[in-house]
Every structure is written in C-alpha cells, then in structure tokens.
Amino acid sequence: MAAAFSLPRRLPAPPPRQMNAPASPSGPALPDAGARPAAVLWPALRDAVRARSAMAPPALPPDTLAWAPDTGWRLQGCWDAEAQALFTLCQPLLGAGPAGAAWVVAQLGQSLDGCVATRTGDSRFINGPETLRHLHRLRALCDAVIVGAGTVAADNPRLTTRLVDGPHPTRVLLDPQLRLAGHLARAQVFRDGLAPTLWACDARWQHAAVAQAGAERVLAVAGLLREDSTLDLARVVSALRARGLVRLFVEGGGVTVSRFLAQRCLDRLHLAVAPLIIGNGRPGLRFEGPAHLADCARPPCRVHRMGVDHLWDLALRT
Ligand SMILES: NC(=O)c1ccc[n+]([C@@H]2O[C@H](COP(=O)([O-])OP(=O)(O)OC[C@H]3O[C@@H](n4cnc5c(N)ncnc54)[C@H](OP(=O)(O)O)[C@@H]3O)[C@@H](O)[C@H]2O)c1
C-alpha cells in the first residue's frame, strides 16, 4: 500500500533576523548605539508619502528625510538596519509619479504554493507580525482600502491602522450586486464608526443599497458591472478619485487583486510569501494568462525580508 503523503504540521522557524539586515560572515550586525529606529522614521515617511499626492509640502522633523532634484528622497542622519529597510521599501511610493499623482497598490499574503487562504477560507494568519505591520502601514499611507465581497463575508475585517501610528483609510467594499446585503448588520466596518465605509456597487443597485445603508455609505458606479458580468475596475478607481481618494490600496482577496492586475489598474503589487504550504486552498493570483512564457509579464521587482516572509515588490507601471 502506498504511504500517505504527509508534511510536518509546523515548518521549523529560522533564526530571527531583521528585515533586510545585512548578512555578516561573523554573525548578525551589532546595532549602532546612535542609530535611530524605524519607529522614529515611520511618521516622517508616512507624512512625506501622503503629502506628495496631496501636493502639500510635508512638515517633516529635521534630520529625517530630505529631497533634492538630482538625488530624490534621501535619509538624513544615522538609522538602524530596520529603519533603512523601511526607507528602501517605501521609496517607490515616495517617488510614485509626478507630485499630485494618484496610484494604486495591492498586497496579497500567500503561501509558497500560491494560496491566500485554506479551502475553508481560513487566512489568519498566513504571514508573520512584521508583514502584518507592513499591511497596516500600507493602509495608513492610503486614502482608501478596497476589499472584495468574499473577504468581507469570510473575515469581517476592520481594515484599520491599529498596529501603527497613522490615520485609518476609508473602507471600500467592492460588491457590484449587493451580495453582502445579508452581512451588513454585523459588518465591523459599518459598526465601529472608526472611519468612513463605502459600499461600492453598480449604479443599477444604488436605490437598494441606499435604502439599506444610507446615501453617505454608498458609492454607486455607473457601468461597473458589464453586460458579460465582468467588472470595469477603472470606473471604481475614477469614482474614488472623484471623491478625493487618490492613493488606493487593494487588500484582497485573490479574486479582487487578480481582477485589478489583469485590468492593468495597479501601479505596484506587494506579494508577501510565507514559508507555508496550504494545498488546495483559495488561490492568490488567477487570471487568463498568455499561452507562451515569452508573453508573460516579468515586472521589475525588489525583494524584502520581513521576519520569516519575503515580500516581493513588483513595479507594474514603468
Ligand atoms: N492572504 C491575504 O492576503 C488575504 C487578503 C484578503 C482576503 N483573504 C482571504 O481570501 C478569501 C476571499 O478572497 P476571494 O478571492 O475568494 O474573494 P474576494 O476577492 O475577497 O471577493 C470577490 C469574490 O467574492 C465572491 N463573493 C461575492 N459575494 C460573496 C459572498 N457573500 N460570500 C462569498 N463570496 C462572495 C465574488 O463572486 P462574484 O464575482 O460572483 O460576485 C468574487 O468571486 C477569504 O478566505 C479571505 O480570508 C486573504
């Protein structure tokens, strides 16, 4: 009889290592006594990113960040390895497009075999605490966070920035035909009052949405649901921009991020890969791809170490 295929329940954890800390042949680098930590740098980075698309000069503490036309943004003074890694990670968002430009970033936390949840929808938590903090930082950098209806139904998320210092984004539930109607009464984003929440639907369902949630909580998008039942996501992006929500974060799930990717609505994609094997779980990226490898996208990318995870930062508009 063939032996059953089995895996150890927990993969052995590697020794802790700081995000992108430089490897040293004689062991981990010793902290510099005068170096300032990431927690001190974060507010300056956050304010610089947010001010850039608001076209307002950021009021940055002295000796944190500086910008010059020939060098772009540079760190000022002495920072520890984690702070330097945070700067490197945020640099593309600091320089995203011309001042005042809008952009869309997405993130997915996935297993080595490309799943964002188990087959029952359990996704808490695929990634480690460092990646979770990064997720909250992305929320704090953005005006709005967008999630698909499947994520709201499965996770009932809060979508706040409770793990970091920064404003909560507007929460946007992408639900063209109001399939979440039965979930609304218990949805945390509609109950906690911590930040605005928008129920984004096709304009044909506007009246039903307003009757249930109130006009101030409905984003009715004309032409969102096409005749062939696909979504026109550029219209969602435009509708949010028309409300002054210019930095957008698409947080999942796999179906929603895949749709934004396939419709070329993303500027960057952060894929956080955890050393975990799920099997027949919910897929991450899935869309109708090219038949030949030569036609598949190989976007410019950088890899950041985040605890035991690896975060792939893909530049999708170059
Ligand atoms: N690891 C991560 O980074 C991450 C992030 C977010 C979520 N998740 C996990 O991903 C899973 C959800 O992602 P997903 O890709 O399946 O969906 P999703 O992108 O969140 O939402 C879109 C999908 O949900 C379907 N849907 C609509 N209403 C629904 C309802 N009331 N109940 C269930 N599904 C509904 C939609 O079907 P139609 O198009 O036919 O309407 C569409 O296929 C959850 O298990 C969540 O825990 C993981």
- pLDDT tens sequence across 76-103: 999 999 999 999 999 999 876 666 678 9
Alpha-carbon distance of 49 to 29, in angstroms, equals: 30
Alpha-carbon distance of 53 to 231, in angstroms, equals: 27
pLDDT band at 67 (very low <50, low <70, confident <90, very high): confident
Could you tell me if 95 and 74 are in contact, meaning their C-beta atoms sit under 8 angstroms apart? no
- pLDDT tens sequence across 167-180: 999 999 999 999 99
Sheet holding 144-148, edge to edge: 218-221, 197-202, 170-174, 144-148, 247-252, 103-110, 268-273, 309-315, 301-306
**Can you give the C-alpha Rg of the chain in angstroms?**
21
**Residue to mutate, 123, 139, 184, ligand 1, most ligand atoms under 8 Å from C-beta:** 123
Q: Could you tell me the distance, in angstroms and rounded to a whole number, from the CA of residue 280 to the centre of ligand 1?
A: 16
- pLDDT tens sequence across 4-38: 444 555 544 444 333 343 333 444 555 667 899 99
- pLDDT tens sequence across 210-245: 999 999 999 999 999 999 999 999 999 999 999 999
* Neighbour tally for 129: CB within 10 Å: 13
Is the CB–ligand 1 distance for residue 121 below 6 Å? Answer: yes
Q: Could you tell me the distance, in angstroms and rounded to a whole number, from the CA of residue 31 to the centre of ligand 1?
A: 42
